[in-house]
Amino acid sequence: MRRIILLLLVAVTVSGCERIETGEVGLRVGFDKQVNTNELLPGTFNQTLVGSVLTFPVRDIALTLDDMHPQTADNSTLQDMDITVIYSINPAAVGELYTTKSRAFHARDESNDIILMYNYLTTVARSAAYKAAATHDALKTISARAEIEADTAKYITAALADEKLASALNITKVQVRNIQPAANIIASANAVITAQNNLKAKQVEVDIARKEAERLSLLSSNSQNVRYMEAKALQDIAEGVREGKVQSIVVPYDFKGIINVGR
C-alpha cells in the first residue's frame, strides 16, 4: 500500500512539474498571480501544483513582414517587399521585459508560449525596412538586397538603443525574401531597353552602309587609276615606236588598236 501511495505521489509530482526546454526561459506565477522575475533556466523542472510557469522562447525568433509597399528614392512605390527579421532575447532580461513592458508589445505562438517584444519589433522593423528601401531607386532595389538588409538591421538596432533595449534584444539577421518594383516601372524600363537595342541595331546598319560606300568609292577610285595607267602605258609605247626606240611590243589579247591623233 505504501508503495502504491509513493508511486501516486511521484506521478502527481511529475505531472505537476514543467520542464524549461533549451532555448527557453521561464517565470513563475504564484497562486496570488504575482510574477516572480527570477528567470527559470533551461533544463530545470518547476512544480505547477501551486501557481504556474510561463515559458518564453529567447533564441532565433523569426519575425516576418509581408506585403510591404515602401516608397523608393525616385518616388516610386514598390509592388511588394517581404522580409524576415531574426532576433534573440537576453535570458537575464526576460523578467524585466515581461513585467515592465506593455503586454501589447508581446505575442503568443501556436503552443501558447509568449514571444516577448514581437509586436513591438514588428512596428520597429517595418519602419526600418521602409527607411532602408527609400535610399534606392526602384529598379536598383533588387540588386541592393544586401544593402537593404544591412541598413534595416542598423536602423532597428539604433531604435533599440534609443529605447534602452540594446542589451535586452539582439538582431541576428535580416533577410529580404522578396522585392518587386511596380509593374509600370518594369514596363518603362523594358521599353527603354528595347529602344536602346533598336538604336544600336540602326547604328550598326548605318555603320555597314557607310563602310560599303567607302568600299565602293575606293574601288571606283582604283578603277580610274588602272584605266589611267593603261592609257599612259599605251601612250608611252606609241611614242617609243614613233621614235624607233621600240622594235617589238607585246600586244594584249584584247588590244583594239591605237588611234594616232598626231598625223
CA angle 59, 64, 66 (to 5 degrees): 175
CA angle 52, 53, 56 (to 5 degrees): 150
> Can you tell me the distance from the alpha carbon of 152 to that of 129, in angstroms, rounded to the nearest whole number?
5
Q: Angle 145-162/118-133 helices, nearest 10 degrees? A: 130
- At 54 the pLDDT is 84
Contacts 24+ apart (CB under 8 A), 62-65: 62/86, 63/87, 63/118, 63/121, 63/122, 63/125, 65/122, 65/125, 65/126, 65/129
| Residue extents of the structural domains in the chain | 16-56, 61-181, 183-255
Local mean pLDDT, 10-residue blocks, the chain (263 residues): 46 55 80 77 62 85 95 91 96 93 92 92 97 93 94 97 95 96 73 71 78 70 62 69 64 58 49
- At 11 the pLDDT is 40
> Can you tell me the distance from the alpha carbon of 235 to that of 244, in angstroms, rounded to the nearest whole number?
14
- At 136 the pLDDT is 94
pTM of the model: 0.65
> Can you tell me the distance from the alpha carbon of 129 to that of 14, in angstroms, rounded to the nearest whole number?
47
- At 209 the pLDDT is 78
**Which residue is associated with the grid cell 522575475?**
37
CATH topology of domain 61-181: Tetrahydropterin Synthase; Chain A (3.30.479)
- At 68 the pLDDT is 96
**Which residue is associated with the grid cell 544591412?**
150
In our burial notation (b when 16+ CB lie closer than 10 A, e otherwise), range 82-96 reads bbbbbbebbbebbbe
- At 147 the pLDDT is 96
Beta bridge partners of 37: none
- At 200 the pLDDT is 78
- At 239 the pLDDT is 72
- At 22 the pLDDT is 76
SS3 208: helix
Cell of 67: 506585403
